[in-house]
Amino acid sequence: MNTLLVCTSVSHGNTRRVAAAMTEVLAARVVAPHEVTAAEVAAHDLVGFGSGVFSQRMHPDLLAFVRALPTASGRAFVFATSGLPEIPFAPYTRALVRLLEGRGYAVEDTFTCRAFDTWAPFRLVGGIRKHRPDAGDLSAARAFATRLRA
C-alpha cells in the first residue's frame, strides 16, 4: 500500500511524533502541506491528514491545503493531537473529515491523543500534558495504523 501522511506540526512536534509512529507500520512518507502537490497526494492509495488542534480546530494551513485539493477518490484518515479532549457533540476532527469527504475521499477513521499544550492560558503554568504523547499514545497510534492496513 502506497501511503502518505500530510502533517502540520508547529508547536512542540507532538503531531509529527504521532505521524512517525504511524509510519513504522505504514511505511509512509511524512510531509508538510507546502512540501507536496495535489498530484502527489492523488498518487497514493491511503493519505493521512493530521495536525495539532488550535482553539478546537485543526491547523489552518492543513485545512487550506485540503480545500485546494481537486476532487478525487481515495482512502483517507485524520489524526490530531491536543491538550484538551474533544467535545463529544463537536469533535475538532469533524470539519476536516467533512472537507475531505466533500473532496471525494472515503475517510476511514480518525485518531486523536493528548499532547503537550502551551496555548495562552496554559502557558502561565508551564503548559499541560507535559509528557504527552507518551509511549502509550504512540503505541495506540501504531495500533491504529495497523487497523488501517487491514
pLDDT tens column, 74-89: 999 999 988 666 777 7
pLDDT grade for 53, boundaries at 50, 70 and 90? confident
pLDDT at 120 over 80: no
Q: Supply the pLDDT for residue 103.
A: 95
Q: Where do we find the cell 512536534?
A: 13
Q: Supply the pLDDT for residue 42.
A: 94
Residues in the chain: 150
Q: Does the global pTM surpass 0.85?
A: yes
pLDDT grade for 125, boundaries at 50, 70 and 90? low
